[in-house]
Amino acid sequence: MLTRRSLIAGSLLVAASPALAQSPAPADPATILTAIYTRAAKGKGDGGAAFVTETKAAKAKYLSKALVGLWARADAHTPKGDVGPVDFDPVTNSQEPDVKSFKIDAEKTEADKATLAVTITGHRNDRKPADQILRYDFVREAGSWKIDDIKGSSDGEAWSIRKMLTDSLKS
């Protein structure tokens, strides 16, 4: 038997169903980087962000298909027992992660490409100012934003993940 209460509950459910059926908007590059650096800064900020690149699944989640493929080729080219071409945590630009806080600035945004800069502040403050800034190139793939390159500097020397991986295939 249909009661007034079940009729109202059913009407509310039907009215809400289009809202439930909509999927959330894909994360934009700033949201992705905020999530990564928030996780990296937890605790004492010394956990780093190796979770972005440590497994095949993690790479597929965060990195573009082209960058994942290049990384796989570079790893396969690395002699057994040697360290791969990326021997540090590129997200924290360090061997010993130290992330206290971060600031994200969008430098260039287009429909299918974006470049964002992240400035990291550590607890120790032992980095040169230029070494605190990382730039991320993002591309849009299948409706999602993916990291296509990470660029920074170490002791004033510029580096790029894409260039490191490409160069490793030449040796």
Torsion of CA 90, 95, 98, 103, to 10 degrees: -20
**Out of 22-36, 71-85, 146-160, least confident range:** 22-36
Q: What is the pTM of this model?
A: 0.82
Render pLDDT for 13-72 as a digit per residue (tens, 0 to 9). Answer: 444 444 434 444 458 999 999 999 999 999 888 888 889 998 999 999 999 999 999 999
pLDDT of res. 116 = 98
Closest residue by Cα to residue 154 from 136, 129, 171: 129
Render pLDDT for 86-100 as a digit per residue (tens, 0 to 9). Answer: 999 999 999 889 999
- Given pLDDT bands bounded at 50, 70 and 90, which one contains residue 5? very low
pLDDT of res. 50 = 87
Domains of the chain: 26-170 (3.10.450.50)
| Helix-helix angle 65-77:161-170, to 10 degrees | 40
10 Å Cβ neighbour count for 106?
13
Calculate the average pLDDT of the chain: 85
